[in-house]
A = this chain, B = another copy of it.
Amino acid sequence: MSLPPLPTIPALDRAPEAAIRDLIDGLAKPKGSMGKLEDLALKLALIQRTATPRAQRVVLFVFAGDHGITDEGVSSYPQAVTAAMVRTFLSGRACVNACAGAAGVEMRVVDAGVAADLAPSDILIDAKIRCGTRNSAREPAMTRAETERALEVGIGLVGRHEYATVDVVALGEMGIGNTAASALLMHRLAPATLDACIGQGAGQDAKGMARKRAALQMAASRSNAAEPLDVMAEFGGLEMAMMTGALLGAAAARKPVIVDGFISTVVALAAARLDPAAADYCIFSHCSAEHGHRLLLEVLGAQPLLDLEMRLGEGSGAVLAVPLIRAAAALLSDVASLADVVEGRL
C-alpha cells in the first residue's frame, strides 16, 4: 500500500556544527562544564538553524484516545478513566498540569479518539476520529483510512496559525491500554521480542500481566504487519497515529520535539521509521520506569535528559525537561563569551 503524503523534513544541516561548538567552547565557563546541556544547545542551534536558539514558547500537546484491547483486561484501569483524566487535564488539576505549571509550558489536549463526549474547553482540540480503536487482539485496531486521517490531522496541527510562534513542541498522551498498543508497535518496529516490550503500564499484578501478555501474543499472531502505518493500523491507537503526525509536522517546520515516556518514544520510533530524518528533531526527555523504555531508547540511540523513575505519561516528563532546554538555548543566546569577560565587555 502506498504512503499518504508526508511532509518534507529537511535533513539536519551539520555544516555549522564546528562553528557552534566553538561558540559554546568560547563561553564564560570551563570547556565542557555544562555537560549534556552543551550537546543540547548544539542540537537546538542546528534544528533552528541559528546561533541563538530559542525555547521560550513551548506547547505541550497531550493526545488522548481509547483502546479496544482493554476488553482483554490488559489494563488495571477501566476505559472510562481516559475520559475522566482528560477532564482532569481540562480542569487544570492533573499531575501533568502541575508539571507544566512548574515548567512554564502551555498545554493543549487533543481528543484523537476518546470513547466519550467531552465538553468544549479553551485548551481542548476536538479532532476525534472515532470513539476508541477496535480490539487489536481480535481485529485491526484501525482501518488504514482512519490511521491516515489521524496522521494527517496530526501533521497539520503544529502548522496552525496560533502555533506559529511556538519555539519547541512537547508531546504527551493519555489512553488506558496504550502501553499494550505501544508494546506491539515496539515489537514490530524496533524490532524486539514481545516480552522485552511488555511492562506493567499503570500498574498490573501477576494475573494482570499474564492477561496482558496473552492478549498481546494473540494480537501479534493475528497479523504479520511490518510497514510502519500497517503496524499502526493493526495495533496502534488514534492518539498514537495523530501524535506521529504531529511529530512529523513539527520536524518539517524545524521545531524541536520533546518526547515523553514509553508510548511517546514508540511514536518517535514510528515517525523515524516513516522518515529517518525525523529522529534528528527529537529531544528525549526522560527514561521512564516502564519496562521496555530503556531498550527502546537504546534502539533509537537516544540519551534522555532525566531519570526520575517516573511512569505516568501525559507529557509529564517532557515538560519537566523544558527548563533544561531553555537553559541550553540561553547558553548560546544570553551568556557572555570568555573574551567578553576577560576584556571587560559586559
A interface, CB within 8 angstroms of B: 27-37, 77, 84-85, 87-88, 91-95, 97-99, 101-104, 202-203, 289, 305-312, 316, 320, 322-324, 326-327, 330-331, 334-336, 340-342, 346
CB-based contact A312/B203 at 8 Å = no
A24 to chain B, nearest CB (A): 11
CB-based contact A336/B33 at 8 Å = no
CB-based contact A97/B308 at 8 Å = no
Interface residue from B85, B101, B306 paired with A28 (Cβ < 8 Å): B85
CB-based contact A323/B102 at 8 Å = yes
CB-based contact B30/A346 at 8 Å = no
CB-based contact B88/A28 at 8 Å = yes
Complex Cα distance A311/B316, Å?
27
A188 to chain B, nearest CB (A): 26
CB-based contact B326/A102 at 8 Å = yes
Interface residue from B29, B92, B101, B310 paired with A37 (Cβ < 8 Å): B310
Interface residue from B103, B202, B289 paired with A323 (Cβ < 8 Å): B103
Copies of this chain present: 2
CB-based contact A28/B308 at 8 Å = no
Complex Cα distance A329/B252, Å?
37
Interface residue from B77, B93, B306, B311 paired with A306 (Cβ < 8 Å): B306
CB-based contact B316/A34 at 8 Å = yes
Please, which residues of chain B bring their CB within 8 A of the CB of A324? 102, 308, 320
Complex Cα distance A31/B346, Å?
50
Asked, given contacts A33-B311, A34-B310, A312-B33, whether A341 binds B85 with beta carbons under 8 Å apart, the answer is: yes
Residue of B nearest to A30 (CB): B202
A218 to chain B, nearest CB (A): 25
CB-based contact A101/B334 at 8 Å = yes
Complex Cα distance A101/B322, Å?
12
Please, which residues of chain B bring their CB within 8 A of the CB of A32? 203, 311
Interface residue from B34, B203, B307 paired with A30 (Cβ < 8 Å): B203
Residue of B nearest to A317 (CB): B35
A109 to chain B, nearest CB (A): 14
Interface hub of A33, A311, A331, A336 (most chain B Cβ within 10 A): A33
Residue of B nearest to A346 (CB): B91
Q: Which 7 residue pairs are nearest across A and B when measured between Cβ atoms?
A: A35-B309, A98-B330, A102-B326, A102-B327, A93-B336, A91-B346, A30-B202
Asked, given contacts A98-B327, A98-B335, whether A84 binds B342 with beta carbons under 8 Å apart, the answer is: yes
CB-based contact A305/B308 at 8 Å = yes
CB-based contact A330/B34 at 8 Å = no
A38 to chain B, nearest CB (A): 9
CB-based contact B312/A320 at 8 Å = no
Complex Cα distance A35/B154, Å?
30
